[in-house]
Amino acid sequence: MLGKMFVVATVSTVLAVSAWAQTADDLRGSWTLASSVTDKDGKKTEQFGHGAKGMMSLDADGHFMLTIIGPGLPKFAANSRAAGTAEENKAVMSKSIGMIGTYSVNPADKTLTFRVDSATFPNWNGTEQKRLIVTASKDELKYITPTASSGGVGTVTWTRAK
C-alpha cells in the first residue's frame, strides 16, 4: 500500500510541475474570472462580490487588458456616468477594477508581472504589479496578489475563455 501511495504522490508532483507555464506564450489568450478572494486580517471575502464577472486578455505582443465588475452595481439616477452621486460612485469603485498595459512571465520565480499603463485604481498607474503564480495550466490560471487594491492579500482564479 505504501508503494502505491508513493507512486500516486510522485505522479501528482510530476503533474503539478508539468502544469506550470514555461513562457508567456503558455498564458496567451483570453481568460474569464472564476473567483477573486481577499484575505484581510484573517477574514476571507469575495473582493468584488459573489458572482463578479471578469475578463483578462494576454496578447502575443505582451499587452494585457483586465476588467472585473461586481454584481448588482447600482444604476445611476442621473443616467449619466459623469453625474453619479457619491454613493453610486463609491459602490462602483469598490466593486470593479480595470487596467491595461504590458505583461511578462518569469518561469524561474513563477511570477506574472503587469506593468500598468492605466487603471481605474490610479495608484497603480505606472507601477509593476507582480503576481505569484499558484497554478498555470492550459485551462486555469491562479495567482496571488500580495497587496490587493482593496487591501489584504488576493487570490484570483481565471479559466480559459471558450
Least Cα distance to 16 among 110, 154, 114 occurs for 110
pLDDT by residue (tens digit) across 96-142? Answer: 999 999 999 999 999 999 999 999 999 999 999 999 999 998 999 99
- 140 close to 30: Cβ distance less than 8 angstroms: no
Give me the residue label for grid cell 504590458.
102
Neighbours of 138 (CB within 10 A): 11
Give me the residue label for grid cell 466593486.
95
Cα–Cα distance, 84 to 73 (Å, whole number): 12
- pLDDT of 12: 34
111-119 vs 128-136, strand pairing mode = antiparallel
Average pLDDT over residues 34-63: 96
More confidently predicted of 77 and 137: 77
Cα–Cα distance, 58 to 44 (Å, whole number): 28
pLDDT by residue (tens digit) across 7-40? Answer: 333 333 333 434 555 678 889 999 999 999 999 9
Q: How far is CA 15 from CA 9, 12, 31, 41, in A?
A: 10, 5, 22, 33
Least Cα distance to 54 among 65, 69, 64 occurs for 69
Domains of the chain: 24-160 (2.40.128.280)
